[in-house]
Structure 1
Amino acid sequence: MKKRVLKRMLCTVTAAAMTIGMAGCSSGEGTSGGDTEQETREITLSIGQSNYREESFTKIHDLALENIGIDVQYEFPPDAQGQNLLQTQLATGNVPDIAQINEPSDYGLYSAEENFVPLDDEEWVDRLAFDKSEIQSGDGHIYAMPITGFSGVMGVVYNKQVFEELKLDIPKTWDEFMNVCEVISESGRTALYLSGKDTWTIQITPMIFLANALDDRAEEVYDSILSGENKLADVPEFKEALEAFQDLCSSGYVNKDYTVGTYEDSKAKVASGEVGMIVSGEYAVTDIANKYPDAEIGMFPLPYNDVDKFLTSKYVFGLAVPKDSKNQEAALEFLNYMSQPECLELYLEENAVNSPYTDVESKNLNPVLQEIYDTYFAEGQTLPQVADMLGEFGSVNSDIFLQMYVEVASGGEIDSAISQLDSALAEYGHNAGLEGY
C-alpha cells in the first residue's frame, strides 16, 4: 500500500499545534511486516517544533508502520506554547499517546507521578549510557524514555565570518566581550540578538550571569533555595546577574525589538551575518547547520565575571506516555522500537547530540559541538543552570520567571521582581508540600 503524507491543523483549548499525519493503512487493516500480516494501530506523538526533524521522523514513521504495525501521527506545537498545551491536555484528559518532555527537570512541571506511566521495567533502561538515577523522579521512578544524552551546552553562538572580517578574537573576559560588541556595532550590525517573544530563550543570558557569578558555589546555592534554607533575596549574585542583564539590554548592543524577536529570527540573522552573536544552546548550532549549511558558525562561553565555562542543563529530551492515553500498549511498544539503533540513529543524524544508549551511535555530531564536548566537558569546565532547580517548582519558571526576565530587560524594578519570585516559590513549595516550605 502506498503511504502518503497528510498535513492538517490540530486545534486545542489553548493553542494550535501543527500536525503532520503520515497515514498508511487505517486502523484494523493489515500491513506487511516482512511476510507477516499485522494489525495497524495508530498513536499520536507530540514533540516540540524546534525538535521535530521531518526527514528523520518520516523515516521512523515508515519503519514503525512496516515492522511493528504502528502508525505514528506527529504533533509539533510551537515551542512557546508547548508547556501550557501539554498541561491543558493532561488536565482535560485529551492527551497525545506520547509527549516529549525534558527529564527529569519537567517531572514537577507536569506532576509526572500523577500523569505519566512509570517506565522502570522497559527494556531500554538496561541500555542507558548513564546511571538511571539521573533521570529518576524523587519517588524513584523513570517517567520518560530518553532520545538524547546529557549535554545541554549554552553560550554564545557567533558568525565566524563576521569575526574574521572584523579581526575579532574569542573573548575570554567580560571587558573583551563588551569590546567585541562595540566593534560589531560600529560595523553597522547588531552585536547581540535576543528573542524575547520566545521567552524560553531570553532566560539563558541571565542564567549564565548567575551561574558565572556563583561559579563553584552554584550547585550549593541552588540546593539552599530548593530546601528553603535561602531565598533569592539572600543571594546577592542573583540581583547582580539581573542588573548586568538589564544593563546589557540597554547598552545599545542588543536588538531594539528584543521583546518581539523570535528564536527562528535569531538563527537566520546570525547565519546571514546581519547579527554577530546570539546567546543560545547547542540545538541552535545544529539547527543552523541544517538550515543554513553555508553559514560558518562557532560557539564560546559567555565570559561574564571572567569565567570560562559553559552553562549546561541537567536534563535530556524524553518521551513520556500519559496515563490517560487510550493506546498505552502501542505507545510503549513504539518507545521500545524507537530506542533501537535503526530508529534513534535516524533522529540523532539530524539532531546531533550525545546518544543516550550504549548501543546507539550519534554519527553526525557537529564539529563545533564535538570540540566543546572534548574540551570543556572532558575537563569539567561547566556550570549548572538555575532552571534545573526551578523544575521542582512546577510551572513557576515558565509562568513567572520567564516573564520576569522580559520585564527586567525592559527596565523593570529588580528588587520588586525578586520579592515576587520568592513569594511565588514559597507559595508553590507550601502548596506542594516541599520540605522546607
Structure 2
Amino acid sequence: MSQVSRSRKSVRAVGLMAAAAIALTGCSGGGGGGEDGTVELTWLQGSGVQTNIDIAQSLVDAFEAENPDIKIKVDSSGGAGSEYDNLLKTRLATGEVGDMFWYNSGSQLQGLNPDQTLLNVADEPWVEDLDETFRSVVSGSDGAVFGAPAGSAGTGGILYNVPVYEELGLEVPTTWDEFVSNSDAIKAAGKTAVQMTFADTWTAQILTLSDFYNVYKSDPEWADKYTANEAKFATDPVAVEGFTKLQELADGGYFNADFASATLDEGLVAVASGEAGHYPMFTALYSTLKTLAPDDLEDIGYFSVPGDDAADNGGTVWYPAAVYAPKDTEHPEAVKKFMAFVASPAGCDAVIEASGVTGPMLVDGCELPEDAPRMVTDMYPYFDEERVAPALEFLSPIKGPALEQLLVEVGSGIRSAEDAAALYDQDVEKQAQQLGLDGW
C-alpha cells in the first residue's frame, strides 16, 4: 500500500498533531502493582505543551474507565527540548524511564537507538490499522514498530482569511505565481498580504519547511541523497526555492510593517481577523486559534505552499508524536493494551475530546466529526487525492540549528536567499558528522 493510501482511509478522523517537531518532557519512575492486583503504569510526559498534557490525561481517563484493573500516572514534571532528550536517553540507558513515554516520531526517534531500547509491538493486531507512512516513522530495522500515534497529522503551508478572498474575488492558488498575484491584490486593498512573526524566530522557517512537498515531488529520493551528502539546498534548483520564495515576498513588501517584532499569537489573530490575508503556519495551531479567536474559526482556510505546476500541487505533512515503551517495562502486556487503545477509534475520540479537531488521525476506523473546522476540511483533499509528502525531518536526521536565524535574515532583507541556502548547507555538516553519517 502506498504511503498515502492508508491516509485516504484514515483521514476521515481528526485530532491534534503533536507539535511539528517538538520533543516533549517529563520525569517518571517505574510502574508497580496495587495490593488489589491493579497494575500501575507510569507515563513519562512533558511540561512544555499543555495541550499535549491534556491529551495524555484524556487518553488515560478514557482507558481507565474501560480497564479499571490498570492505573496510569501521567508525570509531566520535567523540562523541555534538549533537556528532555538528554534525560530520556539517560533513563533509557539506566532502566529508569518508567513504563511508557511520549516522544517524537521520525528521524529524531532514531537517536534513541530504538532497536536496542524500545518495546517492539509490530506483532500487535492494531499496528495494521495505522497509516503506512506513520508506521514507517515509528519503526526500526527488520520490521520492528515501536509507537502508537498520540495525535493527528498536520500540514504546513498557508493559512488564509476566507472573507478577504471572497471580498476580493480570489481563488485558492495552485501555483506560486498565482499566490503572488493574490498577495498583490490583498496588498492593493490596504491589508497585509503575508503576515510574518519574527519575534518568535522559529516561525520564519514555516514557508521554507512547508515547501518540501515540491522538492519531494521533483525527486522522491531527494531526502536520501541529502542524507548521503549527494544533494544540497543551494545547488538544487527546486530545493533552493524554499529560500528564494521567502526573499521574493520580503523584496516585494508583502509583510506586515512590524514583522520583526510581531509574535505568533499576533500573527494568528491577524489572519483570523482579516487584518492579514495570509500567514505561513502549521495547521496544528488550530487549538491555539480556538483560544485567541474563537469567533473567527470558520474564517480561516488552508492551502499548501504552491510550486510551479498546478498539476503537482500538494502538501507537506508533519506526523504526530507517539506513545512508546522501553524494552524493559515490567508490564509489557498492560502497556500493549493501552497502546492498542490509543490506536483505536476510542483513542481518537479521547484525543479530540482534549484538543478538538485539528488534522487527520492515522488510524483506520476513526470518523471525521461533522463539525470539523474549515482548516481541517481544506486539508482533506490533499490526503484523499494522495498529494502529500512527509516533511524532510521525517525522512532525514539532518537539520542544522542555524536555519531559523538564516531565514530571519532572508525575510529581513539582510541576507540573500542563495547565500542563506549555502550557509545552511555548511551548517548541517557538523551535525551529519556527529551522527556518523556516510558521505560526510
**Could you state the TM-score of these two structures normalised by the residue count of structure 2?**
0.74
Contact 1:270 1:278 in 2 (8 A): yes
CA distance in 2, matches of 1:64, 1:384: 30
| Pairing of 1:98-247 with structure 2 (within 5 A) | 98-113=100-115, 116-122=118-124, 124-130=126-132, 132-133=135-136, 135-138=138-141, 140-148=143-151, 151-209=153-211, 211-212=213-214, 214=215, 216-247=217-248
CA distance in 2, matches of 1:194, 1:68: 50
Summarize deviations over 1:397-424 as a string: whole Å, max 9, x none.
4x23333323332323555544443344
Determine if the alignment matches structure 1 residue 86 to structure 2 residue 84: yes
Deviation at residue 192 of structure 1 after TM alignment:
1.7
Task: Give the equivalent residue in structure 2 for 1:341.
Answer: 345
SS at match of 2:181: helix
Structure 1 counterpart of 2:132, one-letter code: F
Structure 2 counterpart of 1:46, one-letter code: G
CA distance in 1, matches of 2:128, 2:244: 46
Cα 1:86–1:111, aligned 2, differ >3 Å: closer, same or farther? farther
Q: Which range moved further: 194-203 or 295-304?
A: 194-203
Contact 2:211 2:316 in 1 (8 A): no
Cα 1:330–1:288, aligned 2, differ >3 Å: closer, same or farther? same
CA distance in 1, matches of 2:260, 2:313: 28
CA distance in 2, matches of 1:196, 1:74: 33
Task: Give the equivalent residue in structure 2 for 1:62.
Answer: 61
Contact 2:148 2:342 in 1 (8 A): no
Task: Give the equivalent residue in structure 2 for 1:52.
Answer: 52
CA distance in 2, matches of 1:162, 1:383: 29
Contact 1:246 1:408 in 2 (8 A): yes
Task: Give the equivalent residue in structure 2 for 1:433.
Answer: 436
| Pairing of 1:276-291 with structure 2 (within 5 A) | 276-285=277-286, 287-288=288-289
Task: Give the equivalent residue in structure 1 for 2:9.
Answer: none
Deviation at residue 205 of structure 1 after TM alignment:
0.7
Task: Give the equivalent residue in structure 2 for 1:354.
Answer: 360
Contact 2:47 2:53 in 1 (8 A): no
Q: How many residues align?
A: 403
CA distance in 1, matches of 2:242, 2:39: 57
Among 392, 406, 409, the alignment partner of 2:408 is 406
Cα 1:406–1:193, aligned 2, differ >3 Å: closer, same or farther? same
Summarize deviations over 1:106-140 as a string: whole Å, max 9, x none.
32355444654433344532443537446423564
Summarize deviations over 1:207-244 as a string: whole Å, max 9, x none.
344543x4732323333222332333431333343133
Richer in strand (by share): 1
Deviation at residue 298 of structure 1 after TM alignment:
1.4
Among 318, 321, 346, the alignment partner of 1:317 is 321
Q: Percent identity?
A: 25
Deviation at residue 266 of structure 1 after TM alignment:
2.6
Summarize deviations over 1:353-387 as a string: whole Å, max 9, x none.
33333344343572535654553333333455333
CA distance in 2, matches of 1:95, 1:196: 37
| Pairing of 1:353-372 with structure 2 (within 5 A) | 353-363=359-369, 366=372, 368=374, 371-372=377-378
Structure 2 counterpart of 1:119, one-letter code: V
Contact 1:352 1:364 in 2 (8 A): no
CA distance in 2, matches of 1:413, 1:97: 49
Summarize deviations over 1:175-209 as a string: whole Å, max 9, x none.
43223323333444322222344444432212344
Cα 1:421–1:347, aligned 2, differ >3 Å: closer, same or farther? same
Contact 2:174 2:313 in 1 (8 A): no
Structure 1 unaligned segments of length 5 or more: list them.
Answer: 1-14, 22-26, 31-35
Contact 1:153 1:310 in 2 (8 A): no
Structure 2 unaligned segments of length 5 or more: list them.
Answer: 1-22
Would you identify which runs of 4 or more consecutive aligned residues in structure 1 move more than 6 Å? 15-19, 27-30, 323-330
Deviation at residue 263 of structure 1 after TM alignment:
3.4
SS at match of 1:238: coil
**Root mean square deviation of aligned Cα:** 4.1
Relative contact order higher in (CA < 8 Å, ≥ 6 apart): 2
Task: Give the equivalent residue in structure 2 for 1:4.
Answer: none
CA distance in 1, matches of 2:166, 2:56: 37
Task: Give the equivalent residue in structure 2 for 1:378.
Answer: 384
SS at match of 1:435: coil
**Could you state the TM-score of these two structures normalised by the residue count of structure 1?**
0.74
